[in-house]
Structure 1
Amino acid sequence: MGTTNSKAKIIFKGLAFSEEEEVLINALFHKETHKKGTILLKAGETVDAQYYIETGCLRSFHTDAQGKEYTVQFGFKDWWISDFTAFFSKSKAILTIEVLQDATLYRISKDDKALLFTKIPKVETFFRIKLERAFAAFQKRILASLSQSATERYIRFVKTFHDIQQCLKNYHIASYLGITTESLSRIRKEISNS
Structure 2
Amino acid sequence: MISNNSVIKEIFKDLNFNNDEIKIIASVFKKLTVKKGTILLNANDIVDKQYYILNGCLRAFHIDAHGKEHTIQFGVKDWWISDYTAFFSEGKAILTIEALQDSTLYCISKEGKDELYDRIPKIDKFFRIKLERAFATFQKRILSNLAKPAIERYIDFITTYPNIEKSVKNYHIASYLGITTESLSRIRKELSK
Task: Tell me the residue number matched to 2:173.
Answer: 173
- Is the CA contact (8 Å cut-off) linking 2:5 and 2:22 kept in structure 1? no
Instruction: After superposing the two structures, state which structure 1 stretch, 159-168 or 69-78, moved more.
Output: 159-168
Instruction: After superposing the two structures, state which structure 1 stretch, 3-12 or 27-36, moved more.
Output: 3-12
Which whole-Å CA distance do the structure 2 matches of 1:6 and 1:157 have between them?
A: 30
Aligned Cα RMSD in Å?
Answer: 1.1
- Is the CA contact (8 Å cut-off) linking 1:48 and 1:87 kept in structure 2? yes
**Deviation of 1:125 (Å):** 0.4
Q: How many residues align?
A: 191
CA distance 1:110–1:4, change in 2 (3 Å): closer
AA aligned opposite 2:16: A
> What TM-score, normalized to structure 2?
0.96
**Deviation of 1:6 (Å):** 4.6
Which whole-Å CA distance do the structure 1 matches of 2:158 and 2:119 have between them?
A: 40
- Is the CA contact (8 Å cut-off) linking 1:7 and 1:29 kept in structure 2? no
Show CA shifts across 1:130-189 (max 9, x none).
Answer: 001101101110110011001111111111111222101100100000001111111111
Show CA shifts across 1:46-82 (max 9, x none).
Answer: 0010000000000000001111000000001110000
Secondary structure at the aligned position of 1:101 is classed as coil
Task: Tell me the residue number matched to 2:93.
Answer: 93
Give the percent of matched residue pairs that are identical in Structure 1 and Structure 2.
Answer: 65
Which whole-Å CA distance do the structure 1 matches of 2:4 and 2:108 have between them?
A: 20
- Is the CA contact (8 Å cut-off) linking 1:6 and 1:26 kept in structure 2? no
AA aligned opposite 1:74: F
Q: Does 1:108 pair with 2:108?
A: yes
Task: Tell me the residue number matched to 2:56.
Answer: 56
**Deviation of 1:191 (Å):** 1.6
1:102-141 pair list within 5 angstroms: 102-141=102-141
1:139-178 pair list within 5 angstroms: 139-178=139-178
AA aligned opposite 2:119: K
Gaps of 5+ in 1: none
Which whole-Å CA distance do the structure 1 matches of 2:4 and 2:185 have between them?
A: 45
AA aligned opposite 2:75: G
Gaps of 5+ in 2: none
Task: Tell me the residue number matched to 1:13.
Answer: 13
Which whole-Å CA distance do the structure 1 matches of 2:6 and 2:160 have between them?
A: 29
AA aligned opposite 1:26: A
AA aligned opposite 1:58: L
Structure 1 residue runs of 4 or more that deviate by more than 3 Å after TM superposition: 3-7
> What TM-score, normalized to structure 1?
0.95
**Deviation of 1:10 (Å):** 2.8
